[in-house]
Amino acid sequence: MRTTMTSPGRAALTAVAMVLVLSTGAARAADEPRLDHQSERFHEEPPILGTLLVDRLEHRWRDGQNSVDWDIQGWIGGDTNKLWFNSEGSKVVDGKLERAELQLLYSRMVSEFWDVQVGVRHDLRPEPQTTYGVLGFQGLAPYFFDVTAQLFVSEDGDLSARIEAESDLFITQKLVLQPFAEMNASAHRVSALHVGQGINDVELGLRLRYEVTKEFAPYVGVNWERKLGETANIARDHGEDPNDLAFVAGVRFWF
């Protein structure tokens, strides 16, 4: 097993975390009007806002074991600087937690549609628990695709990447079709995590939701995941099917 204190990756992560803390502190100051006197302020301070979006909380029915999956994001901050939170994971129904990932990022607006994000990711599952440094961007691409692209450096120095995109197509004002795509890749083979070198997997989803309110929408859909290349081979070696097709039903809600 890996040591915790001596790893160079760990040192890098500590540095990232410090940057994160310092920059969000500064974020607050940067969002305030630059006026000398408290009394001369036009308004009260610009509001520090926050939101939490549970984009997917769903039951997946498949050939094998059914599972409950989630994808959550949230932020707190101002226009320019935000503290950003991501989580996704999967738990077998009546079974074990298979995947659980948490991200805490400092997110800074760099253009009208894009934020650059830096921070840490910690995977509780699969084991062994792994911590990563994260550098990425998040925003709205042309044709209204919400895009997140992230580069990860694990505490052992392994390099990997992920890109995901989703979009909302309004069929009516309340009925919304959401296509979704994700791809993972790794520069290294990480045997402990069953990850091969190269493109690891692609995932495609299509969900149809009905917005009872803007904040609350139940949905149904389909989700297909396919492991590729070396990762697929590793999966087969472990007796797993590299193909995963699931029908899903869940709710999307936010505050």
Partner 1 sequence: MHTAPRGLSRRNALKLAGAAGLAGIVTAYPGRRTFAASGPPLELPVERTRITIDGETSNAIAIGGSIPAPTLRWREGEEVIVHVTNRLDEPTSIHWHGLLIQGVMDGAPGFNGYQPIMPGQTYTYCFKLRQAGTYWYHSHSASQEQEGMYGAIVIEPADRDPVRADRDYVVLLSDHTPEAPEAVLRKLKVSEGYYNNGKRTLVDFFRDAGRDGLGSAMRDRLDWGKMRMDATDLADVTGYRFLVNGKGSRDNWTALYKPGERIRLRIINGSAMTIFDVRIPGLSMTVVAADGQNVVPVKVDEFRFGVGETYDVIVMPTEDKPFTFFAEPIDRTGFARATIATRQGMEGEIPERRPRAVLTMADMGMTHGMDHDPMAGMDHDPMAGMDHGSMQGMDHSSMPGMNHGSMPGMNQNSMQGMDHSSMAGMDHGNMPGMEHGSTASQNQAVGWADAGTPPDAKALSYADLKSFRAREPRAPTHEIEIQLTGMMSRYIWTLNGEKFDEGAPIRVAYGDRIRIKFVNTTMMAHPMHLHGMFVELENGQTDRMPKKHVVLVPPGQVTSVQLTADEPGEWPFHCHLLYHMASGMMTRFIVEPRTASL
- Residues forming the site for partner 1 (CB under 8 A): 33-35, 39-44, 47, 49, 51, 79, 109, 112-113, 140-144, 169-173, 214, 254
Q: Which is nearer to partner 1, 109 or 116 (CB)?
A: 109
Cβ-based nearer residue to partner 1, 19 or 141: 141
- Tell the smallest beta-carbon distance from residue 110 to partner 1 (Å): 12
In this structure, are residues 136 and 153 in contact, taking their beta carbons and an 8 Å threshold? no
The torsion defined by the Cα of 124, 156, 184 and 168, in degrees rounded to 10, comes to: 50
User: CA distances (Å), 145 to each of 176, 178, 254, in order?
Assistant: 14, 10, 19
Question: 241 to each of 60, 127, 225, 234, 236, how far by Cα in Å?
Answer: 16, 20, 10, 10, 6
Minimum gap (Å) between residue 2 Cβ and partner 1: 40
Rounded CA separation 57/250 (Å): 5
In angstroms, give the least distance from the CB of 89 to partner 1.
24
Minimal distance in Å, beta carbon 101 to partner 1?
23
- Measured from the CB atom, the residue of 68 and 140 that comes closer to partner 1 is 140
Residue placing its CB nearer to partner 1 in the complex, 19 or 30? 30
Structure tokens at 125: 């599952």
Nearest partner of 140 among 131, 127, 149, 132, judged by Cα: 149
